[in-house]
Structure 1
Amino acid sequence: MKASMRSRQEPRRVSNGVIIAAMLLSLCVLSIVKARYCSTPFVKPDDQLQEQMNSSIRMETDEPATKAAGGVEQEEEEEEEESSAAVGGAGEPAVSTTTTTTVPVSGNGGGGGGGKKKPTCRMTSKRSERCEARGDIRVEGNASTIYIAGIDKERKTKPYARYHDPVAMAVVREFTLKPVTDSSPECTKNHTVPAFMFSNGGFSGNLYHDYTDVLVPLFLSTHQFKREVRFLLSGLKPWWVNKFTPFFKQLTKYEIIDIDNDMDVHCFPRIVVGATFHKDMGIDPAKSPGHVSVVDFKRALRKAFGLERVAASRGGVTGNGKPRLLIISRKNSRRFLNEREMAQTAAAMGFDVRIAEPDQHTDMSTFAQLVNSADVMIGVHGAGLTNMVFLPRGAILIQVVPFGGLEWLTTVTFKNPAKDMEVTYMDYNVKLEESSLIDQYPRNHQVLTDPYAVHKQGWDALKTAYLDKQNIKMDMDRFKTTLQEALDKLPPV
C-alpha cells in the first residue's frame, strides 16, 4: 500500500518540477526579449536639455524670457487650392481644415447638414494653428469675432505662429469663431476674394522673429492665392507694415485691413486664420502648396526690393573687382571690440569692406541692397544675421558663435536655414581668450569652466551669461584664416 502510494506521488513531484523549470525558462526568455526589443533608448541629459532649449529660442526681445514647453512638431499640410478655385460666392459649401469645431460639407451652403465634415481648426505644428472656412463668413474685427455659418460651437484662436511660447502668445489678440445666427451682425462690406488673418504681435519688431514667426509662414500660406487675397492684420504697427510693404505687395494686390480697429462687418466667401509653420526660417517643399521652397521666398523678396544681383563671386559686384565683405556691427552685447582692426585686416587681404548696423529704424530697401551686394557677411550670433535672406546665391555667411556651448542654438537659427537659402555657411567659434567673459569672472567660475551646467539652469541663466554680457575680440590670425577659407569657397568670377 505504501509502495503504491509512493508510485503515484513521485510522478506528481516530477511534473511540478518541470512546471517550475518551464516558468523560470519563460521568465528568462521574456527578459531577453524585453531587453532586446523593448528597451527605452538611452537619452543623454544634454540632449534633453537641448530639446528643452530649442523650444525657448528668442532673439533679444524686450519681454522676459521664460522656459517654453514643447518643441516643433511638423505634420503634413494639405495642399491649398489655387485662388481661382478658392474664390466663391456665399452659397458655396462651407468647408474647412482643423481640430474640434467642424463645418459640414453639403450642396446647400454653410448651414446644410448631413454632409461629410472636415475640421475648421487644426494644429499644423506645435507652433501654429490654422482655421479655415467657406460660405457665409462675417468678420467683426473690432469685437474680435468671426461668424461662420455651419459650425456648431465656438472656438478661440490666435493667428500667430508661436504657440509653443506663452510669453509671445500672451500679447497676441485672441479671436472667437462663432456660428452665424439670426442675431449675428449684417455685412457692411462685401468682398469677392478670400481673407487671410494674421498678427504682428508676439515678438514682431525683432528681425529674426519678423521672418521666422510671420513672413516665412505668411508666404508659405498665401503665395498660392496669386495675390487674390485680402490681408486682415491684427496688432498692426504702421511702421512695421511700411517696412515690409514691398513684400506684402508680392502676395496681395489689396490694402491691408487694420482688423482690430475696423468698425465694419466684412463678409468673405472664404477665410483662413493663422499661418502654417514648418521650421525656423524655412519651408519644407514636400509639405508646401505648389512645393515651393525658401528659395522661392527669397526670390519674392528680391523682386520686392529690386535686388538685381543673383549670384556672388570672387570678382565682387562688378565681376572684375574685389569681393565685398559686410561686417554686421552691434552696439550693445556681442559687439566686436576690435572691429576697425578686422576691417583693416580684411581690406589688406583684398576685400572691399563695409560695416553696417541694422536696427528697427533702418530702411529695409536700402539695407537689402547693401546685403545683396556682399559676397561674404560676418557677424556675431543675433537678429542682424537674419539679413542673410538678401544674400545672393553662393555668398558666404560666417556666424561668430559666442563662447558658452551655444552651437545648438546657432545651428537651429542660422546654420540649418542657410543651406536651404543657397548660402554657404561657416562658423567661427569664439575661444575663451577672445571673450570679454574672461575679464568678468574668476578663471575657476562655472560660467567659464562648465557652460553646460549653466545651460541646465534654464534659458534665463544661459541668456544672461553668454548672450547679454559677452563681447568679442577676434584673434586676427584666426580671422585671417577664416577669411581665406571664405575666399576659397566663393564661386569664381
Structure 2
Amino acid sequence: MKSQRNFSRTEAKRVGNVTIILAIFLSLCVLSIIKSHFAPYAVKSDEPVVFEEERKESLKIEKEETKETAETADSAAIEDEDDEAETETKAKAEAQAQAVDLSKPTCYESSRRSDTCEAAGDVRVQGRTQTVYIQPLAQEWKIKPYCRKHDAFALSHVKEWTLKPFSAARPPPPCTRNHSATAMIFSNGGFTGNLFHDYTDVLVPVFISSFRYDAEVQFLVSSLKPWWISKYLLIFQQLSKYDIIDVDNDDEVHCFPRAVVGPTFHKELGVDAGKTAGGYSAADFRKLLRRAFGLERAAAAPSGDQWDIRRRPRLLIISRKNSRTFLNERAMVDMATSLGFDVRVGEPDINTDVAKFARLVNSADVMVGAHGAGLTNMVFLPAGAVLIQIVPFGGLEWLARGTFQEPAKDMEIHYIEYKIRLDETTLSEQYHTDHPVLKDPFSVHKQGWDALKTVYLDKQNLRPHLGRLKNTLLEALRLLPHSHSH
C-alpha cells in the first residue's frame, strides 16, 4: 500500500512537469502567432537605412515644393502689387484728367466778382511771361487773377495770365524747380493798399481758395508789392509753409502737380461755408487771424478780477483826419467815459503796424467809426463785441449795409447803425438848403460812383449829436456781457 501511494505521487509530479512544459510550449506558439499577426511587414536590417534615405529625399522634395509654392505665392503677390500700383497710377492720372474736364471747364466764373482756373497734371509756371503750361488742357485760357473782374480801373493794374496746352510744335520749357505743393497764383495789384480792399479783394479770397490745402500750397504773387506782402506776411504764413515767390521777376520754370489761378470771391469780407470744400467759414478766418497776430480774446467778456480795469468795457473810436472826421471827438470821448467805458482812440493808416493795431482792436468790446476802410479792423474784434457804424449823410445806407453790416453777422459781432442827420454834417454849411446834394441825394447817386464818392465821402465831416450818440452807446452796453456780470 505504501509503494502505490509513492508511485501515484511520483506520477503526479511527472504529469505536473509535463503540463508545465506543454504550457510553455503552447505559450511560445501563441506568442509566435501573435507576433506574425501584428508584425507582418518585418524588414531586413538594412531597409531602415534605405527608408531613411527615401524619407530624407521625400522631405527634400517637400521643402523644394514648399519653397517653390512660397516663391510662386510671393511672385503672385508682387505681380498683384505691381498691378495695384499700375492701377493706382492709372486711377490718379484719370482722376487728374477728370479734375480738369468732368464737372467744369478749366477756367470758370467762380462768382460775380471772380474768375478761377484749376488744373491738375503736368503744370509749368513761367512767371516772366505770365504763362502757365498745362497737360492735359483742351484749349488756351486768359485770366486776370484779382477779385474785381468788372472794375476796369482795378484790372488796369493787374497783369493778364495765359494758360496754354502742351504743343508738339512748340514744346513747353523744361522744369527748373519741382514742387509737391499746389500752386496758387494771385495778383497784388488792383486796389491793394486800401485796408478794405486788402481784405475783401485779396486776403479773404486767398483764404477761401487755399485753406483746404492745409498749408501745402505755394503762393506765386503777380505785381508783387514787397511792402504789402511784409504787412500781411503773418497771415500768409498761416496759410502756407513755403516762402512767397515774386513770380513776375522769377527766371525759374516752376513745376507743380496742381494749380489754382485766381482766388475765389464769395461776398464782402465774408466766406460762404456752403461753397467751401471743408465747410469752413468767416469764423475760421477770424481764428486764423488770432493765431497770426497772437490775439488773446476769442470772445468779449469782462475780467474775473474785480479790481481789473478790464471789468470796464473798452470803447475804441476809429479816428479819421482827411474826411468823415469827427469834429467833436474830444467831447465824444468824455461822454463815453462818463458812461463807464474805458475809451481808446486809434487812427489806422497805410503805415500802421497791423499786429499792434490788431491787438488794440481785439482788446475792445465796442468799436465805433464813420463808414470807411478803418472799420475793416472789425475782423479783429472778439465774438460778441459791438460794431457801431456811423453812416454819413447822403443816402448811403445801402453802402453801409453791404460793406460792414452784413459781414458783422457772420463774424458773430453785434451791429448798430447811427445815421448822420442834416444838422450833423458839414455839407449843410457847404450847400444851400435847396441844393440837390441836401434835398435829393439820389440825384447825385445817378451821376455815378465818382460823383457820389466826391460829395458824400470825400467832402463831408461829421459832428454826431452827443445825446443821440449816448443812447446808441447805452444800447451797445446792453448787448455786452459786462452789463450782466454784477
TM range (shorter): 0.7 to 0.9
Q: What amino acid does structure 2 have at the position aligned with 1:290?
A: G
CA pair 95-164 structure 1, distance change in 2 beyond 3 A: farther
CA contact (8 A) 1:105 1:118 kept: no
The equivalences for 1:175-190 within 5 A come to 175-182=161-168, 183-190=171-178
Query: What is the SS of the residue equivalent to 2:300?
Result: coil
Q: Which runs of 5+ in 2 are unaligned?
A: 1-87
Query: What is the SS of the residue equivalent to 1:291?
Result: coil
Partner in structure 2 of residue 17 of structure 1: none
The equivalences for 1:76-475 within 5 A come to 92-93=92-93, 104-105=97-98, 118-182=104-168, 183-313=171-301, 318=308, 321-475=311-465
Partner in structure 1 of residue 66 of structure 2: none
Q: Which runs of 5+ in 1 are unaligned?
A: 1-87, 97-103
Query: What is the SS of the residue equivalent to 2:316?
Result: strand
CA contact (8 A) 1:95 1:133 kept: no
CA contact (8 A) 1:89 1:135 kept: no
Q: What amino acid does structure 2 have at the position aligned with 1:337?
A: L
Give me the TM-score of the superposition, normalised by structure 1.
Answer: 0.76
CA contact (8 A) 1:95 1:132 kept: no
- Return structure 1 stretches of 4+ with deviation > 3 angstroms: 88-92, 115-118, 313-320
CA pair 316-154 structure 1, distance change in 2 beyond 3 A: farther
Query: How far did residue 383 of structure 1 move?
Result: 0.2
CA pair 377-156 structure 1, distance change in 2 beyond 3 A: same
Deviation track 1:224-283 (CA, whole Å, cap 9, x = no partner) reads 100011111111111111111111111100000001110100011111111111111111
Query: What is the SS of the residue equivalent to 2:232?
Result: helix
Structure number with greater CO (CA < 8 Å, separation at least 6) is: 1
Query: What is the SS of the residue equivalent to 1:333?
Result: coil
Partner in structure 2 of residue 55 of structure 1: none
Query: What is the SS of the residue equivalent to 1:400?
Result: strand
Q: What amino acid does structure 2 have at the position aligned with 1:141?
A: G
Query: How far did residue 116 of structure 1 move?
Result: 5.6
Larger radius of gyration: 2
RMSD of aligned residue pairs (Cα, Å): 2.1
Query: How far did residue 397 of structure 1 move?
Result: 0.3
Deviates more, 1:126-135 or 1:177-186: 177-186
CA pair 468-320 structure 1, distance change in 2 beyond 3 A: closer
CA contact (8 A) 1:333 1:471 kept: yes
Of Structure 1 and Structure 2, which has the larger fraction of its residues in helix? 2
Query: How far did residue 92 of structure 1 move?
Result: 4.9
CA pair 261-130 structure 1, distance change in 2 beyond 3 A: same
Query: How far did residue 465 of structure 1 move?
Result: 1.2
CA pair 257-89 structure 1, distance change in 2 beyond 3 A: farther
Query: What is the SS of the residue equivalent to 1:290?
Result: coil
Structure 2: how far apart are the matches of 1:444 and 1:393? Answer: 44
CA contact (8 A) 1:316 1:375 kept: no
Q: What amino acid does structure 2 have at the position aligned with 1:237?
A: K
Partner in structure 2 of residue 481 of structure 1: 471
Query: How far did residue 136 of structure 1 move?
Result: 1.1
Query: How far did residue 181 of structure 1 move?
Result: 2.5
Query: What is the SS of the residue equivalent to 2:330?
Result: helix
CA contact (8 A) 1:376 1:397 kept: yes
Give me the TM-score of the superposition, normalised by structure 2.
Answer: 0.77
